[in-house]
Amino acid sequence: MLKPAEAKSDTAFKPRVMGFLIGNLVRLLTKTLRVRITDDSGLLSNPPLHGLIWMFWHNRMLIVPSLYSRYTRKFRQAAVLTSASRDGAVLAAVMRQFGLESVRGSSSRRGAQAMIECRRRLRRNYYIGITPDGPRGPLYDMQPGVVQLARLCAVPILPISVEYEKFWRLKSWDQFFIPKPFSVVRVRFLPFIHIPEDESPEAARERLSALLKPEVP
């Protein structure tokens, strides 16, 4: 029988191994994809000097680490908000393969601490990646955290639209998209969104949801 310390080490080891394997598979897949980027934000031509929140739907996240690693890693550190669950630990290990740090927490666990850690990084001009309908959904239901964080830190939000030409869909809560090898991926960096102080959180969430309305739901 494993002692507590040994059990904890084993629990931590498995997500790291799974994350390493998945991360390398994702890396191989994304190298085959034909990525078409429309940059309405000016992110790639004139990267902002301040912190920035990247926002994208949970089921479109597969391509995002590669976008960061290929196009923006050279001029800005970044972290992704992941859940404090075992699945979150695997995802954090995947993110490390692309040079991304992870902030662990969600609305149901470590939410306040995660908000504090995101705030610290944004003040250090990090990019923070958030899936506003994650980690458990409902699908395309924007949670309040992204609006709260943007307002608290006075940083803009970068909505990222991702559409895959050919794909598989998992039978998970988010119907996760996996693009087929060598298919086209259309990525659009929308203009930066600022949350005015006089805009209600609900109105801001509705506005952001409308901007990210997917072509393929």
Q: Which amino acid is at 212?
A: L
Distance from C-alpha of 141 to C-alpha of 137, rounded to nearest angstrom = 7
CB atoms within 10 A of CB 9: 11
Residue 38: CB partners within 8 Å, gap ≥ 6?
186, 187, 188, 189
Nearest partner of 130 among 112, 113, 116, 150, judged by Cα: 150
Confidence (pLDDT) at 8: 43
Confidence (pLDDT) at 183: 98
Q: Where are the alpha helices (DSSP H) in 51-110?
A: 64-67, 86-96
Confidence (pLDDT) at 128: 97
Confidence (pLDDT) at 13: 84
Per-residue pLDDT of the chain (217 residues; tens, 9 = 90+): 444 443 344 447 888 899 999 999 999 999 999 999 999 999 999 999 899 999 999 999 999 999 999 999 998 999 999 988 888 899 999 999 999 999 998 766 777 889 999 999 999 999 999 999 988 899 999 999 999 999 999 999 999 999 999 999 999 999 999 999 999 999 999 999 999 989 999 999 999 999 999 999 8
Confidence (pLDDT) at 105: 81
The structural domains of the chain, ordered by start, are 41-164+171-211 (3.40.1010.10)
8 Å CB contact between 136 and 32: no
Q: What residues form DSSP beta bridges with 32?
A: none
Confidence (pLDDT) at 107: 63
- Can you give the pTM of this predicted structure? 0.91
CB atoms within 10 A of CB 188: 16
